[in-house]
Chains A and B, each alone.
Chain A
Amino acid sequence: MDPRTDQQLVAAINAGEGRAFDVLYYRYRDWVVRLARRFTGNAEDALDVLQETWTYVYRKFPGFRLTANMTTFLYPVVRNLSLAAVRKRRGNAGDEALLAVSSPNPPGTNLDDLAAVLRSLPAGQREVVLMRFVDDMSLEEIARALAIPVGTVKSRLHNALATLRQDPRTRAYFD
């Protein structure tokens, strides 16, 4: 496993090292695919978004400067490409439809209630909940990725968690 940091890999790619791009790709490939799958709802579109994302990335070189975490940089790219893929497939789907809970419940689990409550949340709240608790991004990273103030991120999370806590279907998580 390559021990270099993302910044070091970016510097190496800028300097002409092709192998460093491979390392960066494999380091974030699964994260991109999972995020794209979550947005698009299907594997085929997710793989298309994966390809388009890394085409976007390599075209940033040489001269690319990574000024944030790689996930902060990639999130809006994957999001926007996924939106485009969904619109192409569904024809003008809005962000609400895009951010709807599209993953089927894994077999053997009873997550319908959680899925239902999440669907009832405003899209902005649902998105930050997933970024924070599924993608494990910090508040700062979420704020930068969505280009909104940290205070807004906190507020949306607070409101979303309050809804989950008050709803009888998901109250048990907070006991």
Chain B
Amino acid sequence: MVYALTTGAILKGRIKKKSPGNVIKLHKRVGIYFGALILGSFIYGLWLRLENGESILASVHGKLGLIILLIGVLQVIPSLILKNRASYRILHKIMGYSLAPILIIDASWGLHNGVIAGTKNLVLFHSITGGLSALLLVWIIIEMLYPADRSLGRARIASYLTALLITAGCWIAGGYNYLTVYGSQVKPVILAGPHPWAHEVVMEAKEHIFVFLPIIAFALSITLFALDRDAFLGDAKSRRALTITACLALFMVLLMFLMGAVISNAGHTGAEA
């Protein structure tokens, strides 16, 4: 998805690349692979639902999956068939950019439902904001790697949104859930289950390691806010430093996702035992 978005932005000229090569061919190929992955995931989901005798449209995850599949089809097929794509370009661009957040929301929703049966809205909000933060961090990294005149402005917006989502969704909502629900309902189940280490090690580590993430996100936002546009465009060192910081924040988000999945799975196993 990131590669398809990046090559699309290079084609549009939004992202500058010194040696563009055959970007259109690459964009097309990545689009086909991505479309195939979406189709495969949808068929797999459909098969699982049918096996349980449930309708695909009965869940939000299924509905979003269907929307993603339709967008994927509308992105790939006309691009391969139409010879004059000029009139279709705006729609292609809008659908391409809208596909990314929908996919993140659906993936977070699916991951959450898959790991813990019975959705808790607060945990779901926590997961989705984490997923969107990861997407925004990838956006910042791309802007750093392919700097253009308006890259700094876009990276600033992405960093402010990242700081907001991490603070409101991950820190406050996740912390509230940890203090009110986890300690009284999930923790005893994990400790009584077959994987007590999921709380003793993973959760204990996650709850504290997480505190580093908002600090890094705020540092990144303040740095981008304070950075001069000329310094940003002319100084590769600054951009590399910001890329390292954004990569670190992305690593932290992915680590939190992994730890969250392990904890939720242990809770689920503990409840079954």
Do A and B come together as binding partners?
no
